[in-house]
A and B are shown apart, each in its own frame.
Chain A
Amino acid sequence: MRVAAPPAKPHAAARTEQIILFRISGQPFAVSSASVQEVRSVDSLSGAATEINQPTLRKVRHVVRRGDKALYVVSGAAHFGLPAAAAGLVFVLRKTRTALLVDGIDKMATMTRLQSLPLAYCHEERAWYRGLTALDQNVIPVVNPEGFLTADEFALLDASLVPESLPDELPGEGMELPE
């Protein structure tokens, strides 16, 4: 039965964006490759990270010094409320002091259209995602790199740091991505 359809929006000029398809606790996600500064193995973090214990912010368990900045390592599983799973990689995200623990990378792909999150979604997820993209008959949420920690959460984490306790910068073994 078809009665009426809301008018479709006119197509904008086709633009594409390179994305990284990855998984957290088995759940697929995408992130713009331009948002990822480095991809590192979790093992490479082990000597560089300091534990951080903020009871109200369980998704952040480690902090790493990066130059004069503190880089907070966010558990993707805890952030999204997914079952805990062993992370294999960490994405160091650009323009935010966040690194994201993920299971691993599925592949790189080209996104031709990013649809905004339907307005029915009206809670924290609006900050989590830039939108959704349809790829190979799948719908993948495209994460917002700035949506993992709020300004208040950064302030809380910064306040809990003891400056001397931060180890030096991350050692090698990472894969730096071009901007």
Chain B
Amino acid sequence: MIQPVESTSQSFVLLRLGERRFAVAAVQISELVAPSRIFRFPHRTPKLEGVILRRGRIVPVCDVAEKLLGKGLTSRRFYLIAVRHYGDKSEWVALPVTGDCELIAAEMTNAGEADAPHVAGWISHNGEVIEVLNLDALTPGAEELPISTGAADVLEARP
């Protein structure tokens, strides 16, 4: 007798970095935009290139290729704007990608203990096994280094 199987299919966005493809849960993706001007200023956080202006928001640009491919991107076609969680807060982060992105549905196998922290799981698509990225572990965030943030929570101009 065949038992009914509950579908655990989820939506993922496939992104391309060089020759490899990775996946991010679609619920974490805001939009895919053409590259725009990056504003750079001095800082000490690795992997951050600067910020872009998007819909009135200032969005940090984080090149994750170095960590995923072992080398930075020489070209970029789009920025994938994703939601990154910092404890109970969330903010947008822009990830440079080198090719078109694709929305698919797939079942994810959760990451194992041997997988790197930035791997949330694995999906199979068109005969290819693809890493699902855990952006909270892949991109830098305040939990990495305890630094005094006395000036960080000012949101609006002060007179």
Binding site for B on A (CB under 8 A): 1-6, 9, 12, 15-17, 27, 29, 32, 80-82, 111-134, 137-141, 144, 146-147
Contact = CB atoms under 8 A, between A and B. Distances in A.
Contacts of A117: 152
B84 interface: yes
B43 A114 contact: no
Contact of B44 (A1, A16, A119, A125): A125
Contacts of A126: 142, 147-149, 151-152
B142 A122 contact: yes
A8 to B, nearest CB: 8
A120 B31 contact: no
21 contacts: A1-B29, A3-B26, A5-B30, A80-B42, A82-B42, A113-B157, A114-B156, A117-B152, A118-B59, A119-B84, A120-B91, A120-B93, A120-B141, A122-B140, A123-B147, A126-B147, A128-B42, A131-B155, A132-B58, A144-B150, A147-B151
A27 B48 CA distance: 17
Among A130, A138, A144, max chain B CB count under 10 A is at A130
Given A114-B154, A118-B60, 14 more contacts: A1-B101, A4-B27, A15-B157, A16-B159, A118-B58, A118-B59, A119-B91, A119-B142, A120-B48, A126-B148, A127-B149, A131-B152, A134-B58, A139-B51
Interface of B: 13, 26-27, 29-32, 39, 41-45, 48, 51, 53, 56-60, 62, 83-84, 86, 89-93, 101, 103, 139-145, 147-159
A6 B91 contact: yes
A122 B144 contact: yes
Nearest to B157: A17
Given A3-B30, A123-B43, A15 B159 contact: yes
A80 B29 CA distance: 33
A17 B158 contact: yes
Among A111, A121, A122, A123, max chain B CB count under 10 A is at A122
A113 B70 CA distance: 38
Contacts of B62: 120
B154 A130 contact: yes
Contacts of A116: 152-155
Contacts of A138: 39
Nearest to A143: B151
Among A29, A32, A123, A134, max chain B CB count under 10 A is at A123
B26 A141 contact: no
Contacts of A82: 42
A159 to B, nearest CB: 22
Among A113, A119, A139, A144, max chain B CB count under 10 A is at A119
Contacts of B150: 127, 144, 146
Given A3-B30, A5-B30, A132-B51, A121 B155 contact: no
